[in-house]
Amino acid sequence: MIRFEQVTKRYPGGHTALERVDIDIARGEMVVVTGHSGAGKSTLLKLLAVLERPTEGRVLVGGENVSALKRAALPYWRRSIGLIMQDQRLLFDRSAFDNVMLPLSISSHPPREAAKRVSAALERVGLAGREKAMPVELSGGEQQRLTIARAIVNRPQILLADEPTAHLDDAYARDIADLFRSFNEAGVTVLLTTHDGGLFERYAPRRLSLAHGTLQ
């Protein structure tokens, strides 16, 4: 389903984030990418979400070269994936409900259906009853759950998460790991990065390790 073919990413100034990376991920797999800070983990996800484009090589999904998508097609592509980056980008002047509603508002979902989807997504991540809460009223773990709800409200078949348990205590981190396992068990293809490979060891039989931009 997902294929990286000899993907290299170099940034201005000469820094190479990824070097000739080859990866194949089957539909319905859960893959965990580990590595040190600066290993290229975040870049990997950004290339798949087409937030950045490779310097060399191709990123394919279902046989389509998404790294060559035209600018006008990018919003439609990004609506088909769930993306959770380290910068949560929550809207602190809007309620939990409105934060999760945002992707559906952009894609012009009918209001009644959109409201049902938002409520279902909040319930799915354990935030039922917190619809009116502002993000500042939520704990760090709850804010991460809110970010996840926003990522899944469009019911994506691919879910990307960059260090989703970073800065959480052990109990919250295990809860978040359980959430990703449940998404995968429901058939969602999950690709996530983490500095704590042990946390996901029992959930993801396949792990990849990056070091200085190359797969180990």
Could you state, in order of their start, the residue ranges of all structural domains in the chain? 2-215
Query: Each residue of 68-85: pLDDT tens digit?
Result: 999 999 988 988 899 999
Torsion of Cα atoms, 105 then 111 then 116 then 118, to 10°: 20
Domain at 2-215, CATH class:
alpha beta
Cα distances (Å, whole numbers) of residue 109 to 21, 112, 114, 182, 204: 37, 8, 6, 26, 34
Identify whether the C-beta of residue 6 lies closer than 8 Å to the C-beta of residue 21: yes
d(CA 212, CA 210): 7
Record the pTM: 0.92
What value does the mean pLDDT take over residues 156-160?
A: 96
Query: Each residue of 8-21: pLDDT tens digit?
Result: 999 998 899 999 99
pLDDT at position 204: 67
pLDDT higher than threshold 70 for residue 210: yes
